[in-house]
Amino acid sequence: MTDDFLRFDQVAIHLGGREILSPTSFSVARGEFVCIIGPSGCGKTTLLRAAAGFVAPSSGAALRHGEAITGPSREVAFVFQDYGRALLPWRTVAGNISLALEAAGIAAADRPQRIAKVLETVGLTAHTHKFPAQLSGGMQQRVQIARCLAQEPELMMMDEPFGALDAMTRESLQDEVSRLVRNTGLTVLFVTHDLEEAIYLSDRVIALRANPTADKPSLAAMVEVKIDRPRDQLLTKEHPEFLRLRRELYGFLGHH
């Protein structure tokens, strides 16, 4: 990619005396949607956390706009898989979204308009005054996404955000996130174990391998998804290129 909005330059990460991620290099362009797949323990979430500034590389550097990432930034939002723990149960939907605005120092008088805007964006306007316990899992995850959007980030990290949801809700949110990314120009790094989800959502899929060695480094494959957008849950998944990519990536994961 020519636009090094986000770049990993020989990033290696060791935790507890074990090499989680061997030296890994790749770039992400502004507005690109990149999915990261791989077996459990291969460093997918760790790589995401390094890009968010939560984990420091043991060697190499993660850079955004050419500057080393040394800590969390308000320009980067992180959507966690466990939406139940990510939301404060004693705050309403609006109150949970307000957290991002409070942390950013947005004046109280300016918050309602911004909250209303993101709630409309994710289709939750009618649930403004409800508490998390009154919402379905899919709606709770929408609240977490809305809270991230409220801080107006340029980069969104998503760590298996739909993994705990039922199939129909997952597909609905996949389409919702795809629409949001197209409309906002967000750059997204998205971790998933689901091959079809990775292909359906992304512009590029990056595959990592567990237990890297000198001759088999962490970065195992990088595949471009050249399927037109907008995509359709039925038609796209019947597309010959979708089926080809699924076979290719399934072969990789099956081998590992």
**pLDDT exceeds 60 at position 256:** no
Residue type, 250: Y
Please report, for the chain, how many H helices and E strands are present, in that order.
8, 10
- Is residue 249 situated within a structural domain? yes
State the DSSP code for 23.
E
In a domain, 119, yes or no: no
Q: Is residue 127 part of a domain?
A: no
> Which residue is associated with the tokens 């990775």?
198
Domain count, the chain: 1
Residue 213 lies in a domain: yes
Amino acid in position 93: V
What pTM was computed for the model? 0.91
> 113 lies in a domain?
no
Phi, psi of 159 (to 5 degrees): -105, 95
Q: Mean pLDDT across the stretch 138-146?
A: 93
In tens, the pLDDT along 161-186 reads 998 888 999 999 999 999 999 888 99
Per the domain annotation, does 129 fall within a domain? no
Q: Write the CATH number for 235.
A: 3.40.50.300
The reply to whether 216 falls in a domain is yes
Classify residue 132: in a domain, yes or no: no
Q: Quickly state the pLDDT bin for 2 (edges 50, 70, 90).
A: very low
Structure tokens at 204: 């590029």
Where do the DSSP E strands lie in 65-203?
A: 67-68, 76-79, 155-159, 187-191
* pLDDT in the model for residue 142: 92
Domain that holds residue 33: 1-72+188-195+203-256
CB of 68 within 8 A of CB of 10? no
pLDDT at 1: 40
What is the rounded average pLDDT for all residues in the chain? Answer: 91
